[in-house]
Chains A and B, each alone.
Chain A
Amino acid sequence: MSVYDQVSATRGRQGGRISAAAGYLAANPATAICFGVLLLFVLMAVFAPLIAGDPVKIDPAQRLTGPSASAYWGRDHLGRDVFARAVYGSRMSLLVGFSVAAIATVFGVAIGIYAGMSRIGGAIAMRLVDAMMAIPAILLAIAFAALMDAGILTVIIAISIPEIPRMVRLVRSVVLGVRQQPYVAAAISIGTGGLPLVWRHILPNTLGPVLVQATYACASAIITSAVLSFLGVGTSPEVPSWGGMMADARSFFRIHPELMVYPGVLLSLLVLVVNVLGDRLSDALDPRKMVRGSV
């Protein structure tokens, strides 16, 4: 096989691997269910105004009333519609989750590839990564969120910052591994350099692990954002968020535990579904599985 053939054969291999993984995923009922649930959450967030009432309107006269026609899950201590707040709360979680995953991916991949390709730059970058990972992520996120003005953008940035080093570390190790492969040497020998090399050979190999890590980052970000709003950091209290709802419910826990349960269950369910999808993706992309999985 000529060098050209070898090089193009491996590119084909990447595409084959991803579609085989997709097939593997689709076949499994647990995965399909999780994906379905995730889709439901997304739909809930997108179509919130159509599904629920006003999440912000205060109605002190009706504080802590039970389920009714106008408020399916009752009202909280300020008379707000709990169901509406829960539905709108999904917007915050999903937005933060996906944004953080996206930001961590973009920056993590860019810096990670650079760190993998450049010896000196890589060494420096890894020291910085180690240092950032020495600071507990939550504290970092809380500190950033507190320093900047309140708002969802703040929250997204604050949570992204500790996630980026994690991604950088992962991408760099993938890049280092890929660089040692013979087809990379083959590509370099036929004159592929720099950017095209990265684009055609290195980047495709990072997609699998990055996708898995991005999924976990999304789940982690959803939890962290809930913690932030639970602690009262980051967004203003009227903005509906599951963490905030749980913080509000604290004082009434004994008499109205359901105020805690609704957001808690939704939060747990969403994170669970995302984590399971991440696990499944990880299994599907496992090169060892491929030998058995391919038909």
Chain B
Amino acid sequence: MLGYVLGRLLAAIPIFILVAIFIFSLVHLTPGDPAVLLAGDNANPQQVEKIRERLHLDEPLIVQFGIWAGNALQFDLGESIYSNKPVTQLIAQRIQPTFVLAAVTLFLTVAIAVPLGVIAAWRANGWIDRGIMAFAVLGFSVPVFVIAYLLVYFFAVSLRWFPVQGYKPLSNGLLTTLHSVTLPSIALALVFAALIARVTRAAMLEALSENFTRTARAKGLGTFRILVIHALKSAGIPVITVIGIGFATLVGGVVVTESVFNIPGIGRLTVDAITRRDYPVVQGVILFFSALLILINLLIDLSYALFDPRVKG
């Protein structure tokens, strides 16, 4: 088991290194002087020179990368051109809203998608199945910000049940916070759930056609038990894999949703940074998200052992 964990960790490292190289090169790929880019549009020549010195932009690329990477590992991601604050600090300030949003979204997604997928597989080819799959295609197709605005119009503007925008930090109490992220999480969850429901259904259909389902029926077991205890657990791996893969899309959705609902999270930070050409922040945020994704997928890999005892070896 320990070997398995170490193995996956080691495999993740080269990927992370490649990602870091890639992100680092983004700035240097652009035509133009990196120092000018990083100093910002309003910098005068002295400021540009200062940046050039501070960021060692005259050194060979490899050295620059080494310095940048070295700093990054110590959680020093440079400073924002716009605000001069350390990037790490900016990220840390905005983690809470994004995290809460993501957590609630994930919870809603699984709560909606998995039961729907199970039911759709159980009643395969019937009208329930068709209905659920139609909903899934819709959720998959309608862009998240369209759904978001729909929700805002009905539930915030018309019914006034939820705030149109904004985020209430946890210091205001859990319920208040949850109330403020309800609409954005639902919007995100609908899209994510559409994807998960489809995969759950497919994996369940596979499991239900396996021989062990035939055995379970031959033992006279009830429907619920066969569906949930036998088939669903067996279908666990593909489902959770897709949840892991879907995180990448979720990040994109979070970025957009924070923009729509004016939530001061990392997504908003990213968008603002990009429109302001605040490269250190852009690099830092992309690095952060990528590291997070790699970590999440690692955790998911590790969770396989929970679902399928054959994996431990």
**A131 located at the interface, meaning its Cβ lies under 8 Å from any Cβ of chain B in the complex:** yes
Task: Give residues 155-192 of A contacting B (CB, 8 Å).
Answer: none
Within 8 Å CB of A254, what residues of B? 157
Q: How far is the CA of A101 from the CA of B143 in the complex (A)?
A: 18
Chain B contact surface mostly? helix
Among B142, B274, B290, B293, point to the contact of A233 (Cβ < 8 A): B274
Q: How far is the CA of A132 from the CA of B25 in the complex (A)?
A: 13
Q: How large is the interface on B (under 10, 10 to 19, 20 to 34, 35 or more residues)?
A: 35 or more
Task: Give residues 250-270 of A contacting B (CB, 8 Å).
Answer: 253-254, 257, 260, 264, 267-268
**B52 located at the interface, meaning its Cβ lies under 8 Å from any Cβ of chain A in the complex:** no
**A12 located at the interface, meaning its Cβ lies under 8 Å from any Cβ of chain B in the complex:** no
Query: Provided the pairs A131-B19, A272-B138 are in contact, do residues A231 and B259 lie with their beta carbons within 8 angstroms?
Result: yes
**A146 located at the interface, meaning its Cβ lies under 8 Å from any Cβ of chain B in the complex:** yes
Residue of A nearest to B250 (CB): A136
Within 8 Å CB of B242, what residues of A? none
Count CB-based A-B contacts (< 8 Å). Answer: 123
Query: Provided the pairs A127-B18, A130-B15 are in contact, do residues A226 and B251 lie with their beta carbons within 8 angstroms?
Result: no
**B30 located at the interface, meaning its Cβ lies under 8 Å from any Cβ of chain A in the complex:** yes
Chain A contact surface mostly? helix
Within 8 Å CB of B26, what residues of A? 143-144, 147
**B270 located at the interface, meaning its Cβ lies under 8 Å from any Cβ of chain A in the complex:** yes
Does B22 contact A132, Cβ atoms closer than 8 Å? yes
Q: How far is the CA of A94 from the CA of B211 in the complex (A)?
A: 46
Q: State the Cβ distance, B53 to closest chain A Cβ, in Å.
A: 23
7 contacts between A and B (CB under 8 A): A134-B15, A134-B19, A136-B251, A138-B255, A224-B252, A253-B153, A276-B137
A residues with a Cβ closer than 8 A to B are: 127-128, 130-140, 142-144, 146-148, 219, 223-224, 226-227, 230-233, 246, 253-254, 257, 260, 264, 267-268, 271-272, 274-276, 279
7 residue pairs, one from A and one from B, having the closest CB atoms: A138-B252, A131-B18, A136-B251, A272-B141, A268-B142, A271-B141, A264-B146
